[in-house]
Amino acid sequence: MFSQAVDTLYINYNVQAPFSQVTDGKPSGIEIDLINEYILWLKTTKKMDIVVKYNQFTDYDFFYAATKKGTKNTMGLGAITITAERAKELDFTSPYLKNVAFCITNGNAPDIKTKTGPELMKNLGSMTALTIPNSSLSKYIAELKKTYVPELKVSAQSSQAKILEEISKNVLNFGYVDALEFWYFLKNNPQKFLKMQKVLNQSKEELGFIMPKGSPHKALFNEFFASANGFKNNRGYRAILEKYVGSYMTQNLAVN
């Protein structure tokens, strides 16, 4: 797959803590630590002579386009949900993290005990669902509206942080956010009173790294991470997650 000459591996990363960020001038985060383990594996197990060039992005669309148009030795780290639509134009690695969506209400809202029509009508019927249009999170709101609460009011928001901020201000607001967004918001806003409605949580999605179609790194990364003796079965995998998000979130998000 590779020549014996030195190869350059281009790592595009979109800044989004705690996935990929910059600490003391260097890339860090869950995705960066995982990819560094992969690079070490390439050098030690596959005996590949490679150098790594990190390219930082702060705009998701630019990041995605640059990775899609990159060389076969390009990988993209951007907390990207694996979807059939994206897989038509890019290759994905095997999933490295579950993308759990939490249903969040104000802390003063009542607990939703069962996912049944009467229970959801009673608790959500007078509330407004906050969501980001055309996102995976908006699909969960659409499901609730279609199946349980036909008259549910829906309000478009610009970001998950905005959704959480508005829920904290008003007991009649609720919405779905990604688990790590919720964790990160509470970490930085410990005074906010929010509640997770566990019976409505969703865990249908997974995150993967991306690369241009035909990249050899799809098969290589999958061997490193997802094979019988792969890194996901190594204590080091969970240690990386725990380093950034703690043991509770690691239990929710680690792939098996």
CATH of the domain at 126: 3.40.190.10
Where in the sequence is the domain holding 243, given as residue range(s)?
7-98+205-253
Alpha-carbon distances of 152 from 107, 126, 149, 203, rounded to whole Å: 20, 8, 5, 22
In the predicted structure, residue 102 carries a pLDDT above the cut 50: yes
Closest by alpha carbon to 224, among 70, 48, 89?
Answer: 48
Per-residue pLDDT, averaged over 154-162, amounts to 91
| 190, 193, 199, 201 alpha-carbon torsion, rounded to 10° | -50
* 29 and 55 housed in the same domain: yes
d(CA 93, CA 80) in angstroms, rounded, equals 11
For residues 31 and 45, state if they share a domain.
yes
Q: Are 113 and 167 in the same domain?
A: yes
**Banded pLDDT at 2 (limits 50, 70, 90):** very low
Share of the chain above pLDDT 90, in %: 80
Residue 3 has pLDDT above 50, yes or no: no
Q: Which among 61, 21, 11, 16 has a CA at the least distance from the CA of 180?
A: 16
The pTM (predicted TM-score) of the whole model is: 0.78
The model's pLDDT over 25-67, given as tens digits with 9 standing for 90+, comes to 999 999 999 999 999 999 999 999 999 999 999 888 899 999 9
Q: Answer yes or no: is 1 within a domain.
A: no
pLDDT at position 205 = 87
What pLDDT is stored for residue 61 in this prediction?
Answer: 86
Q: Which residue is associated with the tokens 């919720």?
A: 182
Check whether residue 142 and residue 82 sit in a common domain. no
One DSSP character per residue, 103-128 reads EEEETTSPPP---SHHHHHHHHTT-E
Note whether 164 and 197 are same-domain residues. Answer: yes
Residue 157 exposure: Cα atoms within 13 Å on the Cβ side: 22
Q: Are residues 225 and 239 in the same domain?
A: yes
Within this chain, do residues 80 and 113 fall inside the same structural domain, yes or no? no
Question: Are 62 and 188 in the same domain?
Answer: no
Q: Say what the pLDDT of residue 229 is.
A: 92
Decide if 216 contacts 2 (C-beta within 8 A). yes
Helix (H) or strand (E) holding 175: strand 173-178
Quick one: 221 and 126 in the same domain?
A: no
pLDDT at residue 6 is higher than 70: no
Say yes or no: 246 and 187 in one domain: no
What share of the chain in percent tops pLDDT 70?
A: 98
Do 222 and 106 lie in one domain? The reply is no
pLDDT for the residue numbered 8: 93
Counting every residue written for the chain, the total comes to 256
What was the pLDDT predicted at 256? 85
Residues 77 and 116 reside in one and the same domain = no
Number of domains in the chain: 2
Give the tens place of pLDDT for each residue, 174-208.
999 988 889 889 989 999 999 999 999 998 889 99
DSSP state, residue 36: H
pLDDT at 35: 98
Q: What is the pLDDT of residue 203?
A: 81
